[in-house]
Chains A and B, each alone.
Chain A
Amino acid sequence: MAYTEDDLKKELETKEYEYGFYTDLKSETFPIGLNEDIVRAISKKKEEPEWMTNWRLEAFRIWQTMTEPEWANVHYTKPDFQAISYYSAPQTVDPNKTLDDVDPDLLAMYKKLGISVDEQKKMNNVAMDIVVDSVSVATTFKKTLGEKGIIFMSISDAIKEHPELVRKYLGTVVPQKDNFYAALNSAVFSDGSFCYIPKGVKCPMELSTYFRINQANTGQFERTLLVADEGSYVSYLEGCTAPSRDENQLHAAVVELIALDDAEIKYSTVQNWFPGNKEGKGGVYNFVTKRGICEKNAKISWTQVETGSAVTWKYPSCILKGDNSIGEFYSIAVTNNFQQADTGTKMIHLGKNTKSTIISKGISAGKSQNSYRGLVQINSRADNARNFSQCDSLLMGNDCGAHTFPYIEVKNKTAQVEHEATTSKIGEDQIFYCNQRGISTEKAIALIVNGFSKEVLNNLPMEFAVEAQKLLEISLEGSVG
């Protein structure tokens, strides 16, 4: 679809959070609160094998011994974990999950979200797994992918249908005990996506998951596990929205990527959870653990555009275990009004000749706080490791903040580590220059922000890049004036 000025105009007229509607689906929701019985009940509800139930229980026991981390540069009222319901499934989901059986209300909701499943199937060459609240509703393109031996399904199905793969890889990159929220997720994750690309297969289409929180007072805990076997390639997209609500909703996902020898994974996220209103009320707490491991000659590339959530706390990371492996992190984080983001990456260099690149663009407006936190760790055996980091911050107005916390740990003398950082402010002179060329102030800001973010936007697949540009404009509306 061509993106025209008119589309832009329409977008600019929509000042409120666009996805803030609520679809009245019958949901089966568990009572609020968390204990071992709830964990068992989730596992039973999902008809999981015993090993999975035990894995969850183990995670829950670890979680109980942990305390919520406080080191991030964010301030919020801690969630009451006993006031959340840990499972909410739209009741009308058909277990056979063909699209024809999907609740028309659900399909209408996808339409509102601008993701007509039919269209996705026909036009976009995107296979899509949609997770509403906790259950994966429709996995399209299963057949086409099946012919290549690619497995792409909800993780619940994968646990049943491919237990050997799930059991082999689940928790190998992000162990249950990794951190407070990862442990919680391991205990109660309700759904998510699983993807396996066999040896030597180049996945012929972009794979995509769309997450949405619908039900009030529910947490969303998806678990994504993506395994690219030797010499394979996959590009994976993830999009997120939630309705506007006054109370804060919790989102604590775990994403694990495994790139075996010579494999490549490109993982792109456009995150647009409800950021709270102009007074800072409501919004999603987005506490996510994302990590990938690279074996020999493998490559993992994270690209993220973060415009939503009231509080974001996430560091998509790469463990560069194999020799010659490559990790990349491209990020745009936008904060406006009272949003807070503490985001960045960790590049752990273990193998020889490993390379990593970090390009982080933070844009702060309103009264928001935007922090980059990144760790580059070169271990003693990682000869000739190289890292290049660039962290740029763009400020709009006088009430926001941009912070950079780079951590560099080098234990090998052959390492080359470069770090560049800049902070700039959209200047009156830049705006006036654009105005003099007939460009309105809103449009001028969009232009400047897009220019600032270009290196990251260029790494997104085409359809996503257009979407992301629109999101940037919407998120920053009215922030200068």
Chain B
Amino acid sequence: MLKIKNLQANIEDKEILKGINLEINPGEVHAIMGPNGSGKSTLSSVIAGKEEYTMTGGEILFEGEDLSELDPEERAHKGIFLSFQYPVEIPGVSVTNFMKASLNAHRKAQGLEDMPAKDMLKMIRDKSELLEIDRKFLSRSLNQGFSGGEKKRNEIFQMAMLNPKLAILDETDSGLDIDALKVVANGVNKLRSEDNAVLLITHYQRLLDYIVPDFVHVMVDGKIVKSGNKELAYELEERGYDWVKQEKSV
């Protein structure tokens, strides 16, 4: 599904990604772990197509297609979803209204008519029940005055509505207490299927207790330095990132 080969990327001439290789197949859950500043969030932004980053080498293929020439919205239409670490606020635009614009934009890209209001309401009802979201929440301005947990839950709600092929969850666990974390993880697990894939970006192992990855990659200084199964996450938790760094330097 996603093939990243020797990806290099800069921001303002500063090299952040220094040759990333990663392959994700449908049905898989991958986790990328690493210390602060290792380039984890940059990787997610580059996959999603954020303009500030310049790809300087390598390639990103999504279902065989080169992503580098596509606008962020085109990548979204292809089925790439990014759950933001810091979701933005849009005052005066309700969650429902925003979702309507988003869903219809996706449909338009597929040559479909706008979703009839009735269907949209039903879908919103179903997905909000699935994720245990209070309906009142949906009429509030997008992310304005939301708690950390509400913001992240809202991201997962949008993911449920858009049903992406590849969901990238960027530090979805940061700022969440254990109850909120469980709710969010539970939501993600309900949305997993044979056909879609999840890329988790996280600093801590605790999220991986709830969303169990098939593969764990450790990223240090713009490179994936170690890959393994979920046991690797426990090892990291116990021994810290210094252990990988030392191993790398040896």
Contacts and interface: CB of A to CB of B under 8 A. Distances in A.
Contact of A5 (B82, B90, B104): B104
A41 interface: no
Contacts of A455: 92
A22 interface: no
Nearest to B114: A5
B72 interface: yes
Given A435-B73, A437-B162, A450-B93, A443 B51 contact: no
Given A428-B51, A432-B51, A443-B101, A438 B92 contact: no
Nearest to B144: A451
A448 B93 CA distance: 7
B167 to A, nearest CB: 12
Contacts of A443: 101, 105
Given A433-B87, A438-B73, A451 B141 contact: yes
Interface centre among B48, B50, B88 (most CB of A within 10 A): B88
Please tell me the size bucket of the interface on B.
Answer: 20 to 34
Contacts of A429: 88
B90 A436 contact: no
Interface string A441-475: 10100011011111100000000000000000000
A49 interface: no
Given A5-B104, A440-B105, A443-B101, A435 B72 contact: yes
Nearest to B86: A429
Contacts of B50: 432
B111 to A, nearest CB: 13
A136 to B, nearest CB: 38
A453 B84 contact: no
A453 B93 CA distance: 10
B105 A437 contact: yes
A452 B76 contact: no
Interface string A296-314: 0000000000000000000
Contacts of B49: 435-436
Interface string B27-68: 000000000000000000000111110000000000000000
B88 A430 contact: yes
B76 A454 contact: no
A451 B93 CA distance: 5
Please tell me the size bucket of the interface on A.
Answer: 20 to 34
A438 B93 contact: no
A454 B88 contact: no
B26 interface: no
B90 A438 contact: no
B196 interface: no
A275 B114 CA distance: 33
Interface in A405-441: 427-430, 432-441
A4 interface: yes
A447 B101 CA distance: 8
A443 B72 CA distance: 14
A433 B114 contact: no
B92 A452 contact: yes
B88 A438 contact: no
A433 B73 contact: no
Contacts of B121: none
A470 to B, nearest CB: 15
Contacts of A4: 114
B91 interface: yes
Nearest to B83: A436
A447 B48 CA distance: 21
Nearest to A435: B72
A198 B105 CA distance: 50
B203 interface: no
A450 B92 contact: yes
B88 A436 contact: no
A441 B72 CA distance: 10
A5 B116 CA distance: 12
Given A5-B108, A432-B72, A450-B92, A438 B102 contact: yes
A452 B103 CA distance: 21
B71 interface: yes
A448 B98 CA distance: 10
Nearest to B89: A430
Contacts of B93: 447-448, 450-451
B120 to A, nearest CB: 13
Contacts of B87: 433
B22 to A, nearest CB: 20
A211 B92 CA distance: 31
Given A5-B114, A448-B93, A454-B92, A437 B48 contact: no
Contacts of B141: 451
B71 to A, nearest CB: 7
A447 B106 contact: no
A455 B93 CA distance: 11
A98 to B, nearest CB: 42
A44 B90 CA distance: 57
Contacts of B88: 427, 429-430, 433
A433 B83 CA distance: 10
Nearest to A448: B90
Closest A-B pairs by Cβ, 9 of them? A451-B92, A451-B93, A435-B72, A454-B92, A437-B102, A438-B76, A438-B105, A433-B88, A435-B73
Given A430-B90, A435-B73, A437-B76, 11 more contacts: A428-B52, A430-B88, A432-B50, A434-B90, A436-B81, A436-B84, A438-B77, A440-B105, A447-B98, A450-B92, A454-B92
Interface of A: 4-5, 427-430, 432-441, 443, 447-448, 450-455
13 contacts: A5-B104, A427-B88, A428-B51, A430-B90, A436-B76, A436-B81, A437-B102, A437-B158, A438-B76, A438-B102, A438-B106, A453-B92, A455-B92
